[in-house]
Amino acid sequence: MENFFIITGVLLLLLMLPVFFRVVVGPTAIDRIVGINVLGTKTTVLLVFIGTIIQRGENGGSQIHMFVDFALAYALLNFIGSLVVSRYFHKTRNRLAGSDNSTEKIEA
C-alpha cells in the first residue's frame, strides 16, 4: 500500500508540471492566477500524500497527524490569496470604468 501511495504521489506531481507551464506562459494575468490556484489546491493533497508516506520516530508511525495540519492551513491561505487577487482585479477595473464614464460625461 505504501508503494501505491508513492506511485500516485509522483504521478500527481508529474501532472502538476503542465499546470506550471500554463502559469509561466499564460496569456493574461488571470490565467496565471488560475494556474496558481490549481497548484495550491493540489499542494494540499500532496501534503497529505507526504504525511502518509513519511515514517519517522522509534515506532515508525506515519506523520500524517502533523502534515494534515499543514494541509488545512495551506488550504485556508490558498483561498484567502485567490480571493484577495480577484478583488484586486475587480477594483482596478471598476476604477478604470468610473474614470471612463467621467470623461464621457465631460465630453457630453
Partner 1 sequence: MEIVAATLILLGIVFFFGAVIGLLRFPDFFTRMHAAGKGDTLSTVLIIGGFILYNFSQGGDAANWNVLVKLCFIAIFIMLTSPTSTHALMKAGYESGNDPETLDDEEPEEKEGNAS
Closer residue to partner 1 (CB): 15 or 54? 15
- We find the least distance from the C-beta atom of residue 107 to partner 1, in angstroms, to be 21
Does position 3 interact with partner 1 (CB under 8 A)? The reply is: no
Q: How many CA atoms lie within 13 Å of 46's alpha carbon, on the beta-carbon side?
A: 15
User: 42-67: b or e for each residue (b if 16 or more CB lie within 10 Å)?
Assistant: ebbebbbbbbbbeeeeeeeebebeeb
Query: Who contacts 96 (Cβ-Cβ below 8 Å, separation ≥6)?
Result: none
Binding mask 30-59 for partner 1 (x = CB under 8 A): xx-xxx-xx--xx-xx--x---x-------
Residues of span 4-33 touching partner 1 by CB under 8 A: 4, 8, 11-12, 15, 18-19, 21-22, 27-28, 30-31, 33
Does position 82 interact with partner 1 (CB under 8 A)? The reply is: yes
- Grid cell listed for 100: 471612463
Does position 64 interact with partner 1 (CB under 8 A)? The reply is: yes
